[in-house]
Amino acid sequence: MTADLLDRIMARLTFLAPLGEFVHQWLAKLGAQGGSRAGQAKDLLNGTWLSHPLHPALTDVPLGAWTGATLLDLADRGDGGGLSQAADLMVGLGCLAAVGAAATGLADWQDRDGPERDLGTAHALINTGALALFTTSLGLRLRGRRRPAVGVSLLGLGAVFAGAYIGGDMVFRRGIQVNRNAFVAGPKKWTAVADESEVVEGSFTRKQVGKNQVLLTRLKGEICAAGAVCSHAGGPLDELPLEDGQLHCPWHGSRFQLRSGQVTHGPATAANPVFDTRTNEGKVEIRQPQS
């Protein structure tokens, strides 16, 4: 399936947008009812605690287990020996892990909209279909019906590969869920970026420094410089006021410590870049952190 073909298929699947909107609103209501606990659960599923998205790590388990099970099925001579048992175990393991992968994917999907959300909906539907097929296969295996079970597994494997293709397209072609600050480094040497008088407590000054957007402000008098773009999806970190020394992204609510860049609330998982600062002859200078 080429990327072009995928785009053409997606343009025809007009049911994805209303379906996605319905599920999105339902999840939003659930989140609102759950209050801060729902927020903590979502951080857990997004992988904020891990400083890495959790979903791609978990998807490897069902993909690997189901692929391994299918290979064992193909090598099996149908005598109910060790290969059959190992294949059945792998199918079961894949089904269990797929539930976790689905939950983490749903948490990531909830913060997307437009064509990105539609693509995520297609990805989720195909992978849910794959899970249903492997669950059916597991049921058939438990009843001793190996031949149809292997056939259903093969169908499931085709579905999960199609779902994985779309997942890869989302990340590598569309840049969904990648750290927006992956290439932000800041100047190696002290570089003047603003007049000292421009940087005041209670507001932000945004500057273009090389290829990067940097925000400047004061916290308890100390001049601080940090990335101005949210690592999650590129939201502006200088639109909302500082709260408890934290930057607050208006798009999906991620929060970062101004001084350290540490993520304190997701869905972001990657820290915000921070820079060393000093004043020199009335100018504010910044550079990459030295430690």
CB of 39 to ligand FES, least distance (A): 12
C-beta closer to ligand FES: residue 261 or 267: 267
Given the complex with ligand FES, which of 84 and 177 has the nearer CB atom? 177
Nearest-approach distance from CB 249 to ligand FES, in angstroms: 3
Alpha-carbon gap, residue 61 to 59, rounded angstroms: 5
Distance from C-alpha of 157 to C-alpha of 98, rounded to nearest angstrom: 13
d(CA 221, CA 218): 5
For residue 197, count CB atoms less than 10 angstroms from its CB and return exposed for 0-12, middle for 13-18, buried for 19 or more. Answer: exposed
Edge to edge, the sheet with strand 255-257 lists 246-248, 255-257, 263-265
Q: Report the nearest approach of ligand FES to the CB of residue 265 (Å).
A: 9
Specify the residue for token string 């290969």: 83
Please say which residue, 260 or 279, places its beta carbon nearer to ligand FES: 260
Q: Check if the beta carbon of residue 271 is closer than 8 Å to that of residue 256.
A: yes
Report d(CA 69, CA 156) in Å as an integer: 11
> Cα separation of 244 and 219, whole Å?
10
Minimum separation from the CB atom of position 181 to ligand FES (A): 11
Task: Return the residue matching tokens 């099970």.
Answer: 69
In the complex with ligand FES, which residue's Cβ is closer, 44 or 155?
Answer: 44
The string of DSSP codes covering 76-120 is --SSSSHHHHHHHHHHHHHHHHHHHHHHHHHHHHTT--HHHHHHH
Nearer to ligand FES, 88 or 111 (CB): 111
CB of 254 to ligand FES, least distance (A): 4
How many residues does the structure list for the chain?
A: 291
Nearer to ligand FES, 48 or 127 (CB): 48
Two structure tokens written together for 178: 């990648």
Residues lying near ligand FES in the complex (CB under 6 A): 111, 230, 232-235, 249, 251-254, 267-268
- The nearest distance, CB 191 to ligand FES, in angstroms, is 26
Judged by beta carbon, residue 71 or residue 178, the one nearer ligand FES is 178
Closest distance of CB 206 from ligand FES, Å: 16
CA 275 – CA 216 distance, rounded (Å)? 10
CB 16 → ligand FES: shortest distance, Å? 21
User: In 3D, which of 265, 289, 280 has the Cα closest to residue 187?
Assistant: 289
Q: Which is nearer to ligand FES, 110 or 217 (CB)?
A: 110
